[in-house]
């Protein structure tokens, strides 16, 4: 099993392969360079002389030979088009495949200013179309998803190279934010009994959902101590945070140690907040056990607790040291909690558009592939705007009205995910996306989620939106979405339209 780098032209595959080979004491094989040596001419010249299909046939032979010869310490950089060849994709299954992700704009900037002539990089419109068509091919072949748009973090390469040591089928998404980067591991069996999954260094202080401990005691890591807490929104309070802080202090936890948050979004937000503030910050490992937490809350570093006045009003940005997502834990989740998580899946797929939305709209079961798609989408957004200055606000799609519905029902009637589902429907109405609203309504209803809500006063909901943390002026800015993949942040919506969209939910 070698480590194979794939990705669009300009993603830095050759440089990464050379670095990996250096770090692991193996060889770096670059299939484009191998082809050029074989042909004694440049790729561009061969492409022009032979045409694309003859070139791909030649490329297939060279790439298969390289993959066949590569040993466990070797790193292979594939040409950007190689994964479009079915025989190459089949051969990749025997190796660990790392996809260096690069957006179309950065790719174009890089290739159009590079001295290397690239046959498929002549026209910017065709280049973008090619980028769009290649993304799902790379994504489906990958075991690791690494950022290719800036100098590659050697830790990310080492993490990808360690994948064969993890349970089979584990995937890695490398999370990057202004304040630091970390691995997110996704795989069935990551937390199986007997697998040692605690933090790498220091003592492990486990803050866990008491129900999860009851159900999954055999999966727990070696730990210095554990504090069991009740979950549910009513427990995401400063009183509970104080219990955690004082327990850490009484137990003698230090900054060399790590807090491990094992549970759903309530435990993750609360324990993450306590880790952010205890001794001004200790590392936290997030181990999400609900679907809401696996696709959303354990990612991105937002932590906090509620005040009686409003939700999530006290908190901190604190990126985890690591996130472990084991979908096996969801097998014990109640149907209603699974459904609540599904609302966040739909939200994320609407933001992402493309192949994730295609999967979700086709009614696909929420499996590892969908979870990885959600993880990549959320982390991609956070990478560009960790602290919610602008583009991260897309993640609040459906949340402005969703949070307001939670507030006016005193957090007692709706799960967070259920409120988000209703918020999405209101937001699609405000976006004028009639057909999409019906489609999303049908998906939510099929998952057993509420698509209407009795007994709420639209005026009270409108007033509650004004408490939203995103509000800077008199009105809160909305995230609107006219079509999947194209969210727009900071949109001003008039009060009558909000009242009408909420009223529609009560009919
Ligand atoms: N930080 C963020 O970016 C972010 C994003 C989205 C949501 N959130 C927050 O997440 C919270 C909601 O999270 P949640 O829906 O996970 O709620 P939760 O943590 O209350 O969990 C829901 C229920 O599932 C139970 N449970 C957890 N794991 C289980 C398992 N494996 N098997 C059986 N039962 C299990 C819990 O005991 C609880 O009863 C809200 O407070 C919301 O604000 C935060």
**β-bridge mates for residue 204, sequence order:** 258
Q: What is the DSSP string of 186-231?
A: E-TTTT-TT---S-SSS-EEEEEEHHHHHHHGGGPPP-SEEEEE--
337, 388, 421: residue to mutate for ligand 1 pocket, most atoms within 8 A of CB: 337
H-assigned helices in 334-433: 335-352, 354-361, 368-384, 399-408, 416-430
DSSP label at 323?
A: E
- Give the tens place of pLDDT for each residue, 116-137: 778 787 888 999 999 999 999 9
- Give the tens place of pLDDT for each residue, 246-301: 999 999 999 999 999 999 999 999 999 999 999 999 999 999 999 999 999 999 99
292, 296, 375: residue to mutate for ligand 1 pocket, most atoms within 8 A of CB: 292
pLDDT averaged over the chain? Answer: 94
Looking at residue 111, its pLDDT comes to 87
Choose the weakest-confidence range: 25-29, 159-163, 217-221: 217-221
**Burial code of 212-249, b = ≥16 C-beta within 10 A, e = fewer?**
bbeebeebbbeeebbbbbebebebbbeebbebbbebbe
150 pLDDT exceeds 70?
yes
Looking at residue 359, its pLDDT comes to 96
Banded pLDDT at 469 (limits 50, 70, 90): low
Looking at residue 209, its pLDDT comes to 98
Looking at residue 327, its pLDDT comes to 97
In this structure, the residues whose C-beta lies within 6 A of any atom of ligand 1 are: 209, 211-212, 215, 231-233, 236, 263-267, 269, 289-290, 292-293, 296-297, 300, 302, 312, 329, 332-333, 337, 340, 415-417
Banded pLDDT at 197 (limits 50, 70, 90): confident
Q: 180-186 and 171-177: which strand pairing? A: antiparallel
- Give the tens place of pLDDT for each residue, 218-232: 999 889 999 999 998
Q: What percent of the chain has pLDDT over 90?
A: 85
CA angle (134 as vertex; 133, 135 as ends), nearest 5 = 100
SS3 27: coil
Banded pLDDT at 112 (limits 50, 70, 90): confident
């Amino acid at each position: 099993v070698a480590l194979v780098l794939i990705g669009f032209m300009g993603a830095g595959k050759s440089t990464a392969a050379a670095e990996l080979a250096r770090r692991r004491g193996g060889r770096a094989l670059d299939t484009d360079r191998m082809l050029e040596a074989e042909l004694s001419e440049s790729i561009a010249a061969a492409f022009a002389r032979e045409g694309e299909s003859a070139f791909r046939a030649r490329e297939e032979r060279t790439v298969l030979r390289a993959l066949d010869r590569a040993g466990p310490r070797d790193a292979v950089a594939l040409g950007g088009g190689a994964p479009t060849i079915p025989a190459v994709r089949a051969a990749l299954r025997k190796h660990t495949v790392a996809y260096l992700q690069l957006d179309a704009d950065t790719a174009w900037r890089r290739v159009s200013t590079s001295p290397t002539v690239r046959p498929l990089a002549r026209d910017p419109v065709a280049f973008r179309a090619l980028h769009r068509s290649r993304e799902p091919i790379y994504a489906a072949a990958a075991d690791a998803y690494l950022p290719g748009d800036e100098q590659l973090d050697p830790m990310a390469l080492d993490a990808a190279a360690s994948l064969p040591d993890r349970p089979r089928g584990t995937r890695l998404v490398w999370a990057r934010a202004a304040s630091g980067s970390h691995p997110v591991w996704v795989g069935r069996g990551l937390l199986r009994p007997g697998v040692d999954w605690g933090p790498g260094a220091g003592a492990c202080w486990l803050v866990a959902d008491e129900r999860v401990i009851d159900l999954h005691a055999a999966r727990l890591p070696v730990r210095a101590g554990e504090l069991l807490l009740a979950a549910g929104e009513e427990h995401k309070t400063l009183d509970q945070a104080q219990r955690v802080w004082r327990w850490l202090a009484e137990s003698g936890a230090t900054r060399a140690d790590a807090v491990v948050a094992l549970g759903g979004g309530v435990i993750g937000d609360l324990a993450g907040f306590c880790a952010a503030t205890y001794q001004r910050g200790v590392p936290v490992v997030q181990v999400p056990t609900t679907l809401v937490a696996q696709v959303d809350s354990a990612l991105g570093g937002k932590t906090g607790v509620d005040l009686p006045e409003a939700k999530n009003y006290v908190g901190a940005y604190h990126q985890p040291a690591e996130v472990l997502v084991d979908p096996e834990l969801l097998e014990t989740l109640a149907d209603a909690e699974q459904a609540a998580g599904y609302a966040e899946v739909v939200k994320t797929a609407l933001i992402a558009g493309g192949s994730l939305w295609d999967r979700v709209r086709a009614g696909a079961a929420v499996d590892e592939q969908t979870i990885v798609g959600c993880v990549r989408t959320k982390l991609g957004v956070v990478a560009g705007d960790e602290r919610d200055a602008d583009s991260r606000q897309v993640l609040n799609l459906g949340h402005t009205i969703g949070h307001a519905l939670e507030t006016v029902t005193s957090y007692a009637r709706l799960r967070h995910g259920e409120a988000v589902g209703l918020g999405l429907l209101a937001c699609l109405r405000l976006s004028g996306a009639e057909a999409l609203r019906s489609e999303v309504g049908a998906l939510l209803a099929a998952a057993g989620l509420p698509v209407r809500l009795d007994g709420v006063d639209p005026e009270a909901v409108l007033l509650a939106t004004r408490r939203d943390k995103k509000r800077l002026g008199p009105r809160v800015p909305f995230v609107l979405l006219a079509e999947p993949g194209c969210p727009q942040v900071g949109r001003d919506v008039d009060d009558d339209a909000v009242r009408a969209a909420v009223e529609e939910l009560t009919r």
